[in-house]
Amino acid sequence: MVRDGLQALNHRYFGGRRVSPMELKHMRDSLMDDSELNRDYVVMTIGACIIATLGLLSNSAAVIIGAMLVAPLMLPIRGLAFGFLEGDIELIKEGAKALGIGTVIAIALSTSLGFMLGLSEYGSEVWARSEPTLLDLGIAITAGGISGFAKVQPKISSTLAGTAIAVALMPPVCVIGLGLAQGRMALSEGAVLLYVTNLIGITLACMLAFWLSGYALFQKARKSLRYALIFTAALVVPLGISLVELVRQNRAEDSVRDALVNGTVTFQRLELIDSNIDWLASPPEVRLTVYSTTEVTPTQVGLLEDYVSRRMRREFRLIFEVSEVQEVTREEVQPASAEPVSEE
């Protein structure tokens, strides 16, 4: 029975097509229409870019989601995926042209908006898209699978798939432009890596969805699938390193917080608000934002710095950003025995 089952699987996925020539032609024509560079595509790209860029600058996740609903960048990616499987040069050219021009438009527009608004600092929504990890690759592959599956299953709304893809594409493209606007190459480079990660992950997943649905011959598609898998595997190393760094940073920040709040008695009446570690500095710098009702002295900082370094078995430099909190009571302003002042 096991052998029969394996033979059935082999025939199903590695044999001939499981769709009719008419269905195949209909799919190809539909993807060609989706990949066409026309006025509607350009207008939707511009609108989505403006919404996403303003949402990133205002640090508003809700506004960024609005851009996800209208971003059209996922349309030519599905055409590219199908074109790679079939070796369809015309479809590949059409999809690459639409995707490339749409990307250039979004980068140019977001750069211009960044210049015009001239914000000195960006919020967490921008910086969150500059440090991609393996988690982002997983999101891209899942979103691409949803998009490809929705295309071959007419009962599933393509809007659902479009939203999933837009989550992964438009915001990082806009972050590339915002990084260029401020001359922050590290920000733009991180966003480029995220965009490439999403692009490759989505394309691979769409290719697998089309193949598993019977729209491509394995003998014809295996070379393209092999290259897609190789490109995806090449991303695992840098993304894996980023994930390890993210985990290490979270653990280090937790250790610093615990050392500050629970591990020492160096500081009294102090509230920790935020912490951040700059791993690029030598030694790594831990920046702590605190509220305190008493003065924080260099001696106290040095004692905590030594404590944290011993606990983490690595040298750290601590920098405190202190907001002093002054307690004021009624008795300090006006003695309780004082008589009310009458107005004449």
Strand ranges (DSSP E) for 162-284?
270-278
Whole-number pLDDT of residue 6: 41
Strand partners, 288: 275, 320
Phi-psi region of 342 (alpha: psi -120 to 50; beta: other; left: phi over 0): beta
Single-letter residue type at 138:
G
Q: Over the stretch 244-289, which tens digit does the pLDDT of each residue have?
A: 888 877 777 777 777 666 655 566 667 778 777 776 678 888 888 8
Q: Indicate yes or no: pTM above 0.85.
A: no
Give per-residue pLDDT as tens, 108-146: 999 999 999 888 788 888 888 888 999 999 988 988 888
The 10s digit of each residue's pLDDT in 4-54 is 454 454 455 555 556 778 888 889 999 999 899 999 999 999 999 999 999
DSSP secondary structure of 73-114: THHHHHHHHHHHHHT-HHHHHHHHHHHHHHHHHHHHHHHHHH
Report for 90-94, 209-213, 256-260: range of highest mean pLDDT:
90-94
Average pLDDT on 205-229 reads 87
What is the widest separation between alpha-carbon atoms in the chain? 105
Q: What would the mean pLDDT of 283-309 be, rounded to a whole number?
A: 82
